[in-house]
Structure 1
Amino acid sequence: MSGPAGQAPPGDRVVVEAVDYHTAGEPFRIVTAGLPPVPGDSVAERRAVAIGAGGSATSPRPSALDRIRQLLSREPRGHAGMYGGFLVPPDDDGAQLGVLFWHKDGYSTACGHGTMALAAWAVDCGLVGAPEDGTARVRIDVPSGRVTAAVHRSGGRTTAVAFRNVPARIGARRLPVATSRGRVAVDLVHAGACYASVRAADLGIDVGTEQLPELTAAGREIRAALAGEPAARHLADPRLSGVYGVILYQELPDGPSGPSQRSVTVFADGQVDRSPCGSGSSARLALLAADGLLAPGEELRHESVIGTVFTGRLLGAHPDGVLTEITGATHRTGEHRFLLDGDDPLGTGFLL
């Protein structure tokens, strides 16, 4: 357990407003009020500022921004599986929104399920105009670049969101990695974040909720083994380097529209994605295409560990890899006004 931290000074009060969504079961908490300004000329620069202000051994007190991340991702206001985003200005007028993605361990460079939720929120709250029946386009600047989401509407309701990711580029194929379950072959793909893909059967594990402890342990072990791996370095932006998540997958029988897989993504320090992982789905598409297992016009049915589904398809080649589109459903789950009183002994909370 991580103990209480970030207590407000006596008499001080922190008030944060947020709207919660889930995308295929994975939470996404959108902070709409109560944030301090985050300096920087781009979303990527603001993420670097947020990371640098998160505290250290010599200066352990986190910034006001990072205290809010802790407040919302820790109990009793959050939980160890919480994910969310801080709204920030976009890089320029070409996008309507900018976002810093966060989780219990820090700030990520990409988040497909969060992009879908944020696009739905932008339409639902009227920030981006949308037809009663039809599609609205939402352009969002994220730390790894600009992504676009198509929000599909019917009868005045959002029915699905399809997001087009930054290019997905394969970094390495069949890297040998030693684990406590034996040596396995790992594929690395940069798809907004760097993902390591491993066939779960090679570890002797099925992808299912009953196997989550084993899957989580294997994901953490593989990620640790890949620390410093040269193929995990991003060619253009070192801030995007390093393995973020490990995708443990298994093949399912092909469907009428193409291949089908079930996977679980273990990211950060053992956090489990309840959805099929949006940007991780892009990584899987790049590998299937490279192996000739996904033909033009076919779709990947990508199932999560809890049985929810994303649909992925290739859009074409790009100088930096392949372009992909991931479609899923996202739903609002709550609207919140979180408080932290200065005399609360738990401060910004705790993690179990």
Structure 2
Amino acid sequence: MGEPVVREPATRVRTVDYHSAGEPFRIVLDGLPPVPGDSVAERRAIAIGAGGSATAPRASALDEVRQLLSREPRGHAGMYGGFVVPADDAEAHLGVLFWHKDGYSTACGHGTIALGAWAVDSGLVAAPDNGVARVRIDVPSGRVTALVHRAEGRTTGVTFRNVPTRVAELKLALETSRGPVEVAVAHSGACYASVPAASLGLAVEAGQLPELTAAGREIRDLLAGSAAVSHPDDPRLSGVYGVILYDELGVDGGVLSQRNVTVFADGQIDRSPCGSGTSARLAILAAEGRLAPGEELRHESIIGTVFGGRVLAGGDPLGEGVVTEVTGTAHRTGEHLFQLEDGDDLGTGFLL
């Protein structure tokens, strides 16, 4: 008998994976092709094919890595992750391109929480054994900060400080297949529409997930072209990214509590309470007069995990925007060396 044939992998990609309140985040460490561009926002534009013919081959190679990691058999339709890229300048520690099965997002709060934990846990950013380390991250929507909380040499939580959040509409009337609803729209690094699930005859429960997903997709489509979803400063941040359907859970001990499910991209479901979506909810609640600066929102996900959020003093949610902070936890789930062998007919994978 001859020697067995060993097929060499054509592609190797090394990652470290985290979850933030249940939502996965896959951080790509090695195996990326060169990512052209002078800023994170420009790199994202090139990655989605807006860089012109000179950079299209590189963008295509980068997108093959996204597909490889977000599709079966190496990923799944709910996978989320980020490509670590250079920061825009020396004031930030790193840059990131956020990705999911449908493309590249402009913001990701749960991913920022995971990146903050990873940056400290890996030693990329020095941190005290007790206290807080600041990790400054350039994302397509601007510069954000992860405040990494430490106790006895361990990371115990991360607070995500977002770019300013602006409320575009509080009561935008829409006619849906489930009847008329009023939608609030806020820009928090990405554009989110919020609607009470009860106004659609629904509740934020796992058993109603197909109906919630369909409602979220319908509302996103109905808002296409609306002036409210156009970012006032940067057209690259325009268009509904996520629809937040929420339940009121009341006030306990002076803390307002809500449960939500965020339907984003092409019908993906955020397992966490959604970090940048929580920023949107905070600004809307502030604009409604229901949440004063410094007051806490307990924001629960459809799987029962929780982020805490607050609006910082200063700013105007209906004007220049407000700065929000969202606190949660991130935990490492594994380290991986993914391979794509020559001759693998499935290539970068498939989606069902």
TM-score range, shorter chain: over 0.9
Alpha-carbon offset, residue 203 of structure 1: 0.2
Rounded Cα–Cα distance in structure 2 between residues aligned with 1:285 and 1:296: 10
**Is 2:314 the counterpart of 1:317?**
yes
Q: Do the aligned residues in 2 keep the contact of 1:316 with 1:324 (CA within 8 Å)?
A: no
Question: Is the CA contact 1:53–1:62 (under 8 Å) kept in the aligned structure 2?
Answer: no
Aligned-residue offset at 1:230: 1.2
Aligned length: 341
Matched with 2:331 is 331
8 Å CA contact 1:167, 1:321 repeated in 2: yes
CA distance in 1, matches of 2:148, 2:342: 41
Question: Which residue is equivalent to 2:205?
Answer: 208
TM-score in terms of structure 1 length: 0.94
Instruction: Kindly report which structure 2 residues correspond to 1:257-296, keeping only aligned pairs within 5 A, or say none.
Output: 257-296=254-293
Q: Does 1:184 align with 2:181?
A: yes
Instruction: Using CA pairs under 8 Å that are at least 6 residues apart, name the structure with larger relative contact order, 1 or 2.
Output: 1
| C-alpha distance in structure 2 between counterparts of 1:321 and 1:240, whole Å | 15
Structure 1 residue 320: deviation in Å?
Answer: 2.1
1:347 aligned onto 2:347? yes
Q: What is the SS of the residue equivalent to 2:28? A: strand
Q: Secondary structure at the match of 2:345?
A: coil
Structure 1: how far apart are the matches of 2:83 and 2:43? 11
Q: 1:93 aligns with which of 81, 90, 94?
A: 90
Counterpart residue type for residue 106 of structure 1: G
Q: CA deviation at 1:77?
A: 0.2
Partner of 1:217: 214
Are 2:165 and 1:172 equivalent residues in the alignment?
no
Q: Match of 1:321, SS?
A: coil
Amino acid at match of 1:34: G
Per the alignment, residue 246 of structure 2 pairs with: 249
Instruction: Give, as a single letter, the amino acid of the residue that structure 1 aligns with 2:180.
Output: R
C-alpha separation between the residues in 2 aligned to 1:136 and 1:33?
Answer: 25
Contact kept in structure 2, 1:53 and 1:63, CA below 8 Å: no
Cα separation, 2, equivalents of 1:12 and 1:275: 34
Deviation by residue 1:225-245 (Cα, 9 ceiling, x = unmatched):
111111111111110000100
The alpha carbon displacement at 1:350 in A equals: 0.6
Write the letter of the residue equivalent to 2:321.
Answer: G
Note the C-alpha offset of 1:300. Answer: 0.1
Q: Distance in 2 between matches of 1:267 and 1:343?
A: 34
Cα 1:153–1:201, aligned 2, differ >3 Å: closer, same or farther? same
Choose 138-147 or 170-179, whichever is displaced more: 170-179
Residue in structure 2 matched with residue 30 of structure 1 by the alignment: 27
Q: Distance in 2 between matches of 1:174 and 1:160?
A: 35
Alpha-carbon offset, residue 177 of structure 1: 1.3
Q: Distance in 1 between matches of 2:268 and 2:119?
A: 27
Task: Provide structure 1 residue ranges, at least 5 long, that are not aligned to the other structure.
Answer: 1-9
Residue 53 of structure 1, CA deviation = 6.7
Letter in 1 for 2:339: L
Using the TM superposition, give the Cα deviation of residue 55 of structure 1 relative to its aligned residue in structure 2, in angstroms: 12
In structure 2, the CA distance between the partners of 1:36 and 1:60, relative to structure 1 (3 Å rule), is closer
Q: 1:190 to 1:270 in 2, by over 3 A?
A: same
- Distance (Å, rounded) in 2 between the aligned partners of 1:144 and 1:79: 26
Match of 1:6 in 2: none
Q: Is the 8 A contact 1:53 1:66 kept in 2?
A: no
What CA deviation, in whole Å up to 9, does each residue of 1:70-128 have, x standing for no partner?
Answer: 00000000000000000000000110010000000000000000000001000000000
**Which secondary structure does the structure 2 equivalent of 1:276 belong to?**
coil
Question: In structure 2, how many angstroms separate the alpha carbons of the residues matched to 1:207 and 1:315?
Answer: 28
With over 3 angstroms needed to count, the CA separation of the structure-2 counterparts of 1:26 and 1:39, relative to structure 1, is same
Deviations 1:161-198 (A, max 9, x none): 00100001011121111211111111110000000000
Which residue of the partner structure matches residue 76 of structure 1? 73
The one-letter code matched in structure 2 to 1:67 is E
How far has the Cα of 1:316 moved from its partner?
Answer: 2.1
Partner secondary structure for residue 217 of structure 1? helix
The structure-2 alpha-carbon separation of the partners of 1:298 and 1:242, relative to structure 1 and needing over 3 Å to count, comes to same
Contact residue 263 and residue 276 of structure 1 kept, 8 A: yes
- Percent identity between matched residues is 72
Q: Provide closer, same or farther for how the CA distance between residues 308 and 12 of structure 1 changes in structure 2, counting only shifts above 3 A.
A: closer
Distance 1:133 1:326 in 2: 20
Could you list the per-position Cα deviations for residues 4-37 of structure 1 after superposition, in whole angstroms to 9, with x for gaps in the alignment?
A: xxxxxx9760000000000000000000000011
Is the 8 Å Cα contact of residues 92 and 137 (structure 2) preserved in structure 1? yes
